Structure 1
Amino acid sequence: MFANSGNASGFALFEGTNITEASVPVDVIFVATGGSLYTTTPTPMGYRITNTDWYDTRNPVTLVDQPFYRSGSNTLNMVYTTADRGFFYVLGGEYNVALGRWMKARSQTNVQLSKTSTLAEIEGETATKLK
């Protein structure tokens, strides 16, 4: 479940179970940009990112470290959908397990569900369109 407040939310996957403020995720995606997400003073703090199809821990142009969401060029996010409308976010992309990297960047598709929606509405037609 993502926040429906307009503030940013997201998900991160970590290796192991001992997660601290210094832990770097294996994967991460953010929704929206609102709220207190990153500060440069007195010391840089924020939500850590990792190298993915959307984020880079080092700016690819300037080579400056940018380990947090909203720092440097790490400004991509999924589009926030209208709250309380039953949207399900679907991310399509192509990940190569052997290379350990995204070959085709993820893209967002929103599926509006109702109280009577079935799993097929997420896994069926939507999944086929993303391939």
Structure 2
Amino acid sequence: MSPLVLLSAAALVFCALIGLGALFAPKWAQGVVRLVPDPHPDRPGGFSEFRATYGGLLFMLHVTALVILLRLNGPLALLAIMPIAAGWFGAGLGRLVSYLADAKENRAPGMMPIWIAVEFALALAIASPVLHLG
């Protein structure tokens, strides 16, 4: 197995673990993304969104791509990882735009520069088997 496929697989596992963490520890996910459940007293909760979107969705998306990548290990498998890599690239791009354009709305940059770099790195790592072909 190619070192680039292993790099992609490792990035997919890392992302799946982030999803698994959010699935079972929504307060952790809340702290990472700095969002809060709806504070309105008539609509308590909101953890289902952390568990669903940041948890189950991220977990299953990355595990499925990992299984496809490792089982097929060919050109079709590479197609399975590209939308996920593009998604992480888009997340990094969106965070970069927010960092540059939303200074007044963001309390402080805090971890934003680090997350921008992490999201771009995850995109490149996940796409590395495809990027190598070009």
Report the TM-score range of the alignment, normalised by the length of the smaller protein: 0.3 to 0.5
Higher helix share: 2
- The TM-score, its normalising length taken from structure 2, stands at 0.34
- The TM-score, its normalising length taken from structure 1, stands at 0.34
Higher relative contact order (CA 8 A, sep 6+): 2
